[in-house]
């Protein structure tokens, strides 16, 4: 994964509560085993009209938010099924951070595993940020300092689990985290091969 330190970006104010993974990633896209190219399907029912043309009323199609890498979401985003494709699609859309008052547990975990920073703030603060960005203003997220800075320079602080924060700051996925223990694993294998040689092919 790419290490995450800070980001200053436009943000999409997606002020809807209890958005489930069926909305985030429709079932028709679940056949794909690739993480690439799923951005086209993310929030499809909201982003496109029945004839396939862009929905002009969708937040995601507002020119003011073009290039946004931060998604401001309503409470309990990602509820519903456990499909990891939801996180894949959001990342493929270009979002690196989701800020919300609460996340569904599995979706929160899937975002972390795919390098998406999930920031939890009080609902009033999320709503204040949504007002801030309506005209395309930028906000800043600093994972190292655990802060979100508004356009007026006011700073909101958030908590982050130390293990997840370490992994994201250093760009470590589950394989990368395991490889950090390569020396200890090699030593364990060496000791085990001496204690239990029959497990390692010895006659």
pLDDT the model gives residue 139: 98
Report the alpha-carbon distance of residue 78 to residue 108 in Å, rounded: 8
pLDDT the model gives residue 202: 62
Give the pLDDT confidence of 68-91 residue by residue, as tens digits: 999 999 999 999 988 999 999 999
Superfamily, domain 6-171? Aconitase, domain 4 (3.20.19.10)
Strands 70-73 vs 97-100: parallel, antiparallel or unpaired: parallel
Give the pLDDT confidence of 5-62 residue by residue, as tens digits: 999 999 999 999 999 999 999 998 888 777 788 999 999 999 999 999 999 999 999 9
176-196 average pLDDT score: 81
pLDDT the model gives residue 132: 97
pLDDT the model gives residue 203: 52
Report the alpha-carbon distance of residue 16 to residue 161 in Å, rounded: 26
Instruction: Let me know: does 128 contact 152? Beta carbons within 8 Å.
Output: no
Helix (H) or strand (E) holding 188: helix 182-195
Strands (E), the chain: 6-14, 70-73, 97-100, 117-120, 138-142, 147-149, 155-157
Report the alpha-carbon distance of residue 60 to residue 54 in Å, rounded: 9
* Percentage of the chain lying above the pLDDT 70 cut: 99
Domain spans of the chain, in order of start: 6-171, 173-203
pLDDT the model gives residue 199: 79
Give the pLDDT confidence of 109-156 residue by residue, as tens digits: 999 999 999 999 999 999 999 999 999 999 999 999 999 999 999 999
């Amino acid at each position: 994964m790419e290490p995450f330190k800070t980001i200053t970006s436009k943000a999409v104010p997606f002020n809807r509560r209890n958005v489930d993974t069926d909305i985030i990633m429709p079932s028709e896209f679940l056949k794909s085993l690739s993480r690439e190219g799923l951005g086209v399907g993310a929030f499809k029912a909201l982003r496109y009209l029945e004839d396939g043309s862009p929905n002009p009323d969708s937040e995601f199609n507002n020119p003011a938010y073009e290039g946004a890498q931060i998604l401001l979401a309503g409470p309990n985003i990602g509820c519903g099924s456990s499909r990891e494709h939801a996180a894949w699609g959001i990342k493929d859309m270009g979002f690196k951070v989701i800020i919300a008052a609460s996340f569904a547990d599995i979706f929160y975990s899937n975002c972390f595993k795919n390098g998406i920073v999930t920031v939890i703030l009080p609902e009033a603060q999320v709503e204040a940020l949504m007002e801030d960005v309506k005209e395309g203003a930028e906000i800043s997220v600093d994972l190292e300092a655990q802060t979100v800075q508004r356009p007026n320079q006011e700073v909101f602080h958030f908590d982050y689990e130390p293990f997840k924060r370490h992994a994201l700051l250093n760009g470590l996925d589950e394989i990368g985290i395991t490889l950090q223990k390569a020396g200890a694993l090699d030593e364990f294998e060496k000791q085990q091969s001496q204690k239990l040689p029959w497990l390692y092919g010895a006659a």
